[in-house]
A and B are shown apart, each in its own frame.
Chain A
Amino acid sequence: EVHLLESGGGLVQPGGSLRLSCAASGFTFTTYAMNWVRQAPGRGLEWVSGISGGGGSTYYADSVKGRFTISRDNSKNTLYLQMNSLRAEDTAVYYCAKDPRYSGSHYPDYWGRGTLVTVPS
């Protein structure tokens, strides 16, 4: 059974940094691309970033490009999101999501439960 468990969320001041982690199990981690998707309070879903199975290709939404960095450690079956220069508009639940293919961003076929990041205005 696929299991994705996010951690690392919390309260951070504007301009601060945070690193999210997502521990994956139940599938061959290195075989699949992974994504981060966020949801601001009471709002819809917004794709943030994606990374290929080997980690060699990364993709970002314009809203986070240059501030966020996605990475993965396939030896630890863990996905990361380093978030710098945080803004109030980055406040959201951040979901880790598995992609059904090795590269690119397609559709999340499994989702974690999410971790809340709060940046006060």
Chain B
Amino acid sequence: EIVMTQSPATLSVSPGERVTLSCRASQSVNRNLAWHQQKRGQAPRLLIYGASSRATGIPARFSGSGSGTDFTLTISSLQSDDFAVYYCQQYDSWPPITFGQGTRLEIK
């Protein structure tokens, strides 16, 4: 099973800032990496698939990069609606697909 590790666990940032979240896989997942956003009390929502492709309706301020074992999600200018938990997820080797433990974005 591929283990996904996200850092940091929590990030305190101000609206308007640029933020980068990291995700590392225990072995190469090529570019088979997705990012999901989960707001408090809500279901997750797909943001990014294929490491860098934005899902339908996702604003351009969200971007993903990386390949192999190291990936990043960048939010270019944080909006108040972006404070949430972000999960990376690999789908290169399954079953099982596996998720990271999440990074929580908090308002500074």
Contact = CB atoms under 8 A, between A and B. Distances in A.
Interface in B61-108: 87, 89, 91, 94-102
A96 to B, nearest CB: 9
Interface string B29-50: 0001010101000111110010
Contacts of B44: 45, 95, 108, 111
Nearest to A48: B96
Given A45-B87, A59-B94, A105-B94, A110 B99 contact: no
Contacts of B87: 44-45
Contacts of A108: 36, 44, 46
Nearest to B6: A44
Contacts of A104: 94
B11 interface: no
A89 interface: no
Given A107-B34, A107-B89, A108-B36, A47 B46 contact: no
Contact of B43 (A44, A50, A105, A112): A112
Main SS class of interface, A: loop
B95 to A, nearest CB: 4
A44 B97 contact: no
B43 A95 contact: yes
A73 interface: no
Contacts of B100: 44
Interface in A69-118: 95, 100, 104-114
A77 to B, nearest CB: 19
Interface of A: 35, 44-47, 50, 59-62, 95, 100, 104-114
